[in-house]
Amino acid sequence: MIERFELIDRKVVDSNRVFDYCKDTLKLPDGRITVYETLLHKGAAAVVPVLDDGRILLVKQFRHAIDRVSLEIPAGGRNNEDEPYIAAAARELEEETGYKSDDLTHLISFVTAIAYCNERIEVFLARGLKKSSQHLDPDEYIDVEAFELKDLLDMIYEGRIQDSKTIAAVMTYKAKSGL
């Protein structure tokens, strides 16, 4: 039987606007003590924005960690742990794509890097999009493009889209929409 590890001590080594980097001292089920490094995240929201013609909006941006431009669904962290995920999703939709929606429905929830980080992303489907304007953060440079679902699936299967939240969201949208 798998047993829960007991947290004995947590030291926050570093903290920034995205996560807390912690060294956790844990007691294992057999009594041994070990240290795990953990990233604590306040959670994020993402959106699959579907235009009236069925095309899906994605954002294109440079991602330093992988040193290349990435194609993704719009997403971002919650401002704080009390912010509702749906509010963060609505905010990120408008900020990154320049569209609003009064029709946001929950699509899927997942944890991004379960071995070392607790980041949970709640993904919403946005329909009835209304043009607004982008409100990018000072360090964001984003282009917005619309794609047919078939083309997104091809890009996923060919490895041109590698972002896990985008893959999970697009595949879930396909499965739940019956397209």
Confirm whether 117 is domain-assigned. Answer: yes
Which whole-number Å values give the CA distances from 138 to 52, 112, 131, 142, in the listed order? 30, 25, 21, 11
- Both 105 and 140 in one domain: the answer is yes
Chain segment 115-151, per-residue pLDDT in tens: 999 999 999 999 999 999 888 888 888 899 999 999 9
Confirm whether 116 is domain-assigned. Answer: yes
DSSP H or E segment with residue 105: strand 103-111
**Residue 57 is part of a domain; what is its CATH number?**
3.90.79.10
Confirm whether 1 is domain-assigned. Answer: no
Eight-state DSSP code of residue 133: -
Chain segment 17-63, per-residue pLDDT in tens: 889 999 999 999 999 999 999 999 999 999 999 999 999 999 999 99
